[in-house]
Structure 1
Amino acid sequence: MLIRPSNKEYAAHFQRYVDLVPEGDIRKALEQSLKITTEMYAAFTEERGSYRYAPEKWSLKQVLGHVTDNERIMGYRALRIARGDRTQLAGYDENVFMSNASFDEMPLTAIVDDYAAVRRATLTLLSGIPDEAWTRRGVVAGNESSARAWIYIIAGHELHHLNVIRERYSAATGER
């Protein structure tokens, strides 16, 4: 059973994400956020997908592209650590990724489809890792972490961005 990691299983700056994940089955939390995110984005027009709440901020398309890129990276980290690979893994710069991405030129539906495919891959990854592997540790960006921590970080990172969308993109989402 995949249980919540202790705060000694990930770098301190990820605490804000892990804290957002509700108690209970992480698989259900990931399935629920898949539903919430796809439904939210399905309600956006192409024009809304390009909305930025400030000139230098990411568009709604870019936010979802970032969440998807991040999940790919975090899932890879979880896999490598769970499989016992002790090779140190590098961090990544989200702004470099965004400057080299073309989310604003992509159809919104393609970005949503990509996000959903990556989430389904994460969910199948969970079923293919034995219980004892989730507590294995590896080093990422100079910090020791467990495989299970990365799954919680994936879930919390998405919840963080859903909160940002609700708080700062309300002009585009219609939510108040």
Structure 2
Amino acid sequence: MLQRPNQIEYPEYYLPYVSSVPEGDLLTILKENLEKVITLFDGISEADEHFRYEPGKWSIKEVLSHITDTERIMSYRLLRIGRGDQTPLAGFNEEVYVKGSFVEQLPLKNVLDDFIATRKATITLIENMPQSAWDNKGFANNTEVTTRAVAYIIAGHETHHRNIINERYLAKLK
């Protein structure tokens, strides 16, 4: 079972994500959270998928697109660091990614299908990562991070945003 990373394995700004991952097997958590995301977004109506809890915030659909984009980028980091690649990896601007996605023009089902495919690829990447790779260190966004920490950041990032959907979006729609 993959061990939870120590705080020295990732930048402090990722602490809320890593802390939100419950105790237990990370692969099981990722699989269970995939089902939670499917259930959550399958329950959102066409009328509500464009909802923003306040002006200037992303729509529900844009949040899902952001979760997917971030998971893709973090999985790429996990792959590179896990394979021992020491090339520094660039950061990304989440606002540019959301704006450039034009996701508001897509059906929510397409956006959800994209997340499902991305999560399944993340799961197989983690399942097939050699045990010796979890302690590897690399640089992403000008900070040092381990392969193990990236895996936990992926899980925590999705959980963080799923909680926001429930607390800030869906609570206001009721």
**Normalised-by-shorter TM-score class:** over 0.9
> Shift in Å at residue 70 of structure 1?
0.3
Aligned residues of 2:89 and 2:139 also touching (Cα < 8 A): yes
Aligned residues of 2:46 and 2:108 also touching (Cα < 8 A): yes
* In 2: Cα distance, 1:108 partner to 1:93 partner: 23
> Shift in Å at residue 171 of structure 1?
2.8
Corresponding residue of 1:79: 79
Aligned residues of 2:87 and 2:139 also touching (Cα < 8 A): yes
Structure 1 counterpart SS, 2:138: strand
Question: 2:54 aligned with 1:54, yes or no?
Answer: yes
Encode CA deviations 1:53-81: one digit per residue, 9 max, x unaligned: 11211000000000000000000001000
1:21-170 equivalence runs, <5 A:
21-169=21-169, 170=171
Q: TM-score, normalised by structure 2?
A: 0.97
Structure 2 counterpart SS, 1:44: coil
Structure 2 counterpart SS, 1:164: helix
Encode CA deviations 1:109-141: one digit per residue, 9 max, x unaligned: 000100000000000001211111011000111
Corresponding residue of 1:171: 172
Structure 2 counterpart SS, 1:85: coil
AA partner of residue 24 (structure 1): G
AA partner of residue 53 (structure 1): Y
* In 2: Cα distance, 1:21 partner to 1:90 partner: 25
Q: Percent identity?
A: 45
Structure 2 counterpart SS, 1:79: helix
Q: TM-score, normalised by structure 1?
A: 0.96
Corresponding residue of 1:6: 6
* In 1: Cα distance, 2:13 partner to 2:162 partner: 19
Report the number of matched residues. Answer: 173
Return 5+ residue gaps in structure 1 as ranges. none
Encode CA deviations 1:35-66: one digit per residue, 9 max, x unaligned: 00110100111111111111211000000000
AA partner of residue 168 (structure 2): R
AA partner of residue 118 (structure 2): V
Return 5+ residue gaps in structure 2 as ranges. none
Root-mean-square deviation (CA), in Å? Answer: 0.9
Encode CA deviations 1:7-39: one digit per residue, 9 max, x unaligned: 011111000100000011000110111000110
* In 2: Cα distance, 1:35 partner to 1:94 partner: 25
> Shift in Å at residue 2 of structure 1?
1.5
- The farther-off stretch of 126-135 and 67-76 is 126-135
